[in-house]
Amino acid sequence: MLHVVAAAAVASAPFWLGPSFAGHPLVAQTDGGVLVYGNCKIPEGQDEGGCSPPLQLQDRTTCERNVVALDVVPRHIYRLRGSGIAADYGESSIDVGSGHTTTTVFANSDRFARRATKAMRRRGHAHPRPLSAPVYPAAVLKELKRVIVASHTPRSAEEIGNALGLGPGVVRARVRLARLLPAGTLRNVPVPTRSWAQVQHDRQIAFAAQTHQAQQRFGLTRAQVRRAVRRARGLTGSC
């Protein structure tokens, strides 16, 4: 449900595009904190199905949303405006990680989405500034360490993926993300001793815990559920 943006709501958003962008005014904010630019217009002759506004921004933490936590492989990962890292998922959707924030840009075209990522700025800044590198939870860094260590061999992404239990596209994306982080970020991160299959099991427990079904579904004690949730922090979309 959309409602008119209040000044306090805008001030709380880590990134925005000002009161208007490319001729589209800031018109609304959803209950989930999405900033909406421009009005939605249903195409002529279309009576059903609704429509999407020209541009939306949504801020989450890097613990809630990151490349490792998502089950969708980005088509391109690249450095943006200094040390920020962008993940392009296609369909005019781009995540920008900087500090502890992941800002997702949804637009009506790929070009418009990229334009917005270059222009977004923090509240109170008159112009866009260089972005700091994203900061990820320990579980995310461990999974990046898993693939970066495995990549130090002549094996292909397919062979590495088979050995780790990951798809080759996932391997490539995680290696790419790891290599874009500041030098030394993964130096003291331990290589995971638990397999990716075991990590996936922890994720499933954590997902079930969100609806208070983990103990019954997996036959675990409350303490065991808590340990699994802690281990999967940063890998489930909820923190």
Give yes or no for residue 3 having a pLDDT over 60. Answer: no
Higher local confidence (pLDDT), 5 or 234: 234
Query: Do 144 and 53 share a domain, yes or no?
Result: no
pTM above 0.95, yes or no: no
Q: Which residues pair with 2 in a beta bridge?
A: 30
HSE (side-chain half, CA atoms, 13 Å) at 169: 9
The whole-number pLDDT of residue 39 equals: 87
Asked, for residue 133, whether it belongs to a domain, the answer is no
The whole-number pLDDT of residue 123 equals: 85
Q: Which residues pair with 56 in a beta bridge?
A: 36, 106
d(CA 89, CA 142): 23
Query: Do 67 and 167 share a domain, yes or no?
Result: no
- Which of residues 73, 88, 122 is at a domain's end? 122
% of the chain beyond a pLDDT of 70: 90
The whole-number pLDDT of residue 55 equals: 96
d(CA 78, CA 88): 8
The whole-number pLDDT of residue 56 equals: 95
* pLDDT tens digits for range 138-190: 999 999 999 999 999 989 999 999 999 999 999 999 999 999 999 999 999 99
Instruction: Give the pLDDT band of residue 10 (cuts 50, 70, 90).
Output: very low
d(CA 151, CA 172): 9
- Domain hosting 169: range is 138-180
Mean pLDDT over residues 33-45, rounded? 79
Q: Which residues pair with 85 in a beta bridge?
A: 79, 97
- Integer angstrom CA distances of residue 101 from 140, 186, 199: 14, 19, 24
Query: Do 107 and 82 share a domain, yes or no?
Result: yes
Which string of b and e fits 210-234 if b means at least 16 CB within 10 Å?
eeeebeeeeebeeeebeebbebbbb
d(CA 126, CA 203): 41
Query: Do 101 and 18 share a domain, yes or no?
Result: yes
Query: Do 225 and 142 share a domain, yes or no?
Result: no
Query: Do 22 and 82 share a domain, yes or no?
Result: yes
Q: What is the mean pLDDT of the chain?
A: 91
Asked, for residue 104, whether it belongs to a domain, the answer is yes
Query: Do 29 and 104 share a domain, yes or no?
Result: yes
Mean pLDDT over residues 32-60, rounded? 80
- What is the Cα gyration radius of the chain? 20
d(CA 36, CA 20): 10
Number of domain units in the chain: 3
Give yes or no for residue 222 having a pLDDT over 80. Answer: yes
Instruction: Give the pLDDT band of residue 102 (cuts 50, 70, 90).
Output: very high
DSSP single-letter state for residue 85: E
Asked, for residue 29, whether it belongs to a domain, the answer is yes
Instruction: Give the pLDDT band of residue 11 (cuts 50, 70, 90).
Output: very low
The whole-number pLDDT of residue 48 equals: 62
Query: Do 223 and 159 share a domain, yes or no?
Result: no
Asked, for residue 145, whether it belongs to a domain, the answer is yes
Other beta carbons less than 10 A from residue 87's beta carbon: 26
